[in-house]
Structure 1
């Protein structure tokens, strides 16, 4: 076993890093990526300074441990972006409370309203076309309206 560690070299770390990153593609979770990055860093540093096998393993451990706070910082900043636009993937929810003009009348509880370049199906009390309605609820692609 110790012979395996003694023979650790630059190429071993680079191959190990590439394998870990390839495994990340098969089992996404962003954990193996950082370990692969740590292995690649050890491999690249081994080209320059030729450390002992003990030092290589120590560098790998330090880089892998430093990757965790780095990943948390990156993940936190990306979640801040989603907090700045809470309706990013919920467009219909962003329409609640807004007032629009009916394109087609609401007859038997169903009609349409044009919002930007999209025609939305609306439900509500019978109302003639051209009337102003306020969106009170969004359920998927269907909007519930009331007279504005």
Structure 2
């Protein structure tokens, strides 16, 4: 093992870090990326201070363990950011409670309404085109309406 470290020296850690990050692309789980960062950091530090191989492994272990709380803190802050927009990826849910005009009449419980540049299928009681309706429920790409 000492011979392997002496041949490539600090480059071992840089190669190891890049390999771990590449493996993260193949098997995403946001785990190997942090080990890759730890290996890269050890490689960069090894260029600067030339530690023994035992100290390099110890630094890698410390950086890898320190990466876990760092990742948890980052994940928590991202969760708070995504909660600031609760309708992200739930476009239909954001329409509940709003009032729109029927584009096509509701006949036999089915009609359409234009919302911005999109035509949505609506279900509800029969009503002629031009009637104002309130969206009461969203289920996928189908909206349930009631007279406004």
Structure 2 match to 1:104: 104
Structure 2 match to 1:37: 37
Kindly indicate whether the alpha-carbon contact (under 8 Å) linking 1:8 and 1:53 is maintained by their aligned counterparts in 2.
Answer: no
Residue 125 of structure 1 aligns to a residue whose secondary structure is: coil
Give the alignment's Cα RMSD to 1 decimal: 1.6
Structure 2 match to 1:61: 61
Question: In 1, distance between residues paired with 2:8 and 2:51?
Answer: 10
Q: Which runs of 5+ in 1 are unaligned?
A: none
Q: Which runs of 4+ in 1 moved over 4 A?
A: 1-8
What TM-score do you get using the length of structure 1 for normalisation? 0.93
Kindly indicate whether the alpha-carbon contact (under 8 Å) linking 2:5 and 2:12 is maintained by their aligned counterparts in 1.
Answer: no
Residues 80-107 of structure 1: per-residue CA shift (max 9 Å, x gap): 1211111110101111111111111111
Structure 2 match to 1:15: 15
How far has the Cα of 1:7 moved from its partner? 6.0
Question: In 2, distance between residues paired with 1:3 and 1:101?
Answer: 77
Residues 87-141 of structure 1: per-residue CA shift (max 9 Å, x gap): 1101011111111111111111111111111111111111111111111111111
Q: Which runs of 5+ in 2 are unaligned?
A: none
Structure 1 match to 2:93: 93
Q: How many equivalent residue pairs?
A: 148
What TM-score do you get using the length of structure 2 for normalisation? 0.93
Kindly indicate whether the alpha-carbon contact (under 8 Å) linking 2:98 and 2:135 is maintained by their aligned counterparts in 1.
Answer: yes
